[in-house]
Amino acid sequence: MTVAKTIVWFRQDLRIHDNPALLSAVDAGDILPIYILDDVNSGDWSMGEASRLWLHQSLASLNESLNGQLCLFHGDAQTVLIDLVAEFDATAVHWNRCYEPWRIGRDKKIKTQLSEQGIEVNSYNGSLLWEPWEITKKDGTPYKVYSPFFKRGCLAAANRIRHVLPAPKNINYLALPQGFALRSLEELSLTPSIAWDDGIRKAWSVGEDAAHDRLQRLIDRRLEGYKKGRDFPAMDSTSRLSPHLHFGELSPHQVWFQVLQSDPINEEDLSHYQSELGWREFSYYLLYHWPQIPDQPFVPKYKAFPWRSDKEGLQQWQQGKTGYPIVDAGMRELWQTGYMHNRVRMIVGSFLVKNQLIHWQHGERWFWNCLVDADLASNSAGWQWVAGCGADASPYFRIFNPLLQSEKFDPEGEYLLRYLPELKGLPKKYRHKPWEAPSDVLDQAGIELGKDYPVPILDLKVTRERALSSLRTMNDQLAAEQ
């Protein structure tokens, strides 16, 4: 009996548990596990620096799980795979599907070329609970609104979610040809170009084991207070599983079923958490059916929106120097840890696209480079949601007031002080708006506004009216053209 020689192409599934491509390949015969950093086909969406830092550590973890047999490559995935098939005389290639437009196009070409050469190609679902093409309205068209997508589409098909698969018991690896050199992680050039990674390393444990530990913490807590607590950035109420899910150190199937089996204290908390997993699915669903959303507004009329060009204002936002503490704390959390609390993401997003009137794509790009959970689907959908031009988006005229948000969701200023320690000497009532503190209070706190902490770069009331006026101008212009 001839033993199959199978290449297992790891992508966004850096784990050995619940990995359908890996399990199927191991069952078939000997494997060559590989990872390809493809900066050729990704174009404008090559992985950002924070993601590369995470990837470096995640690949190291995966390689350890594979007994040091993971082969690393950098370049055009199609060229790499064709060469490997020839060199190892492989009979099959297995991978788990990805859903970014550039990956779909590339993978189709690879599958066609390999199939024409008589190579068996098998792809699997290792990243989503529901395939995007499986959930449609009764007329066969895709959903554009989240609630019916999740309740009528996804939950109605909950029985179709595949169950969690075991890790392979024994893996037989293909022997490497003489002279075949394994590329080191360092050769992939995943370390950042500037020294900003210490905070990220301290903030996260990376890899499959770390992902399971994080999930176990959520289960041990039994989702207690999740629905309410997830809005308060100072509280440890969110799952913080997003980077583990993005890199596939954990599958959504593992999360879904383990949470269901964890006997949550409150059904509302469970339902709300399932709904948050649903939003991840919805983002991928939108990207699959409307692949233009990373670059174009989902609602076409917003192409005519009169955005401002403000290089200085954009830099002040990026650096956390707007003078509004909740915005600055969020932007500094992003820079220091590669992450930002979800509530704060909405606040800083609204500030950029509404108060500053800067195009949402500038925010999308900054997040892409700085987030360890930078996900093309979620990042694009999230920014379009905030900007009012996405599917089922928050209306543009809904403008978050950062002061009210800060006072409501961080009443003690704990989150603010975590990232803005220069404000620690201020009484609680002035932490959210230090410019209102009397001069003697500022002196006592050792703060000189404009030196130790910025003065506000804009007036919230004035810029709110400007944003609404811009919206009216766009609508009036479009109406006149009809």
Query: Which residues are known catalytic residues?
Result: 276, 279, 307, 342, 360, 383
What gap in Å lies between CA 246 and CA 260, rounded to an integer? Answer: 21
34: left (phi over 0), alpha (psi -120 to 50) or beta: beta
Strand partners, 33: 8
DSSP type of residue 231: T
Cβ–Cβ contacts within 10 Å for residue 295, how many? 12
Which of these, 306, 344, 310, lies nearest to 327 by C-alpha position?
344
Which of these, 107, 350, 378, 125, lies nearest to 243 by C-alpha position?
378
DSSP type of residue 149: I
CB 185 within 8 Å of CB 72? yes
Strand partners, 92: 6, 120
CB 120 within 8 Å of CB 94? no
Vertex 404: Cα angle to 400 and 405 (nearest 5): 65
Which of these, 332, 315, 385, lies nearest to 354 by C-alpha position?
385
What gap in Å lies between CA 34 and CA 72, rounded to an integer? Answer: 6
Q: Residues in the chain, how many? A: 482
CB 17 within 8 Å of CB 54? no
Strand partners, 37: 74
Q: Is 111 exposed, middle or buried (0-12, 13-18, 19+ CB in 10 A)?
A: middle
The Cα diameter of the chain in Å comes to 86
Task: Return the sign of the alpha-carbon dihedral for residues 304, 285, 236, 126.
Answer: negative
Which of these, 396, 395, 391, 387, lies nearest to 148 by C-alpha position?
391
Which of these, 340, 295, 289, 287, lies nearest to 318 by C-alpha position?
340
Phi first, then psi: give them for residue 121, nearest 5 degrees.
-120, 125
- Specify the 3-state DSSP secondary structure of 198: helix
What gap in Å lies between CA 387 and CA 349, rounded to an integer? Answer: 8
Non-local (6+) Cβ contacts of 102 within 8 A are 41, 42, 43, 45
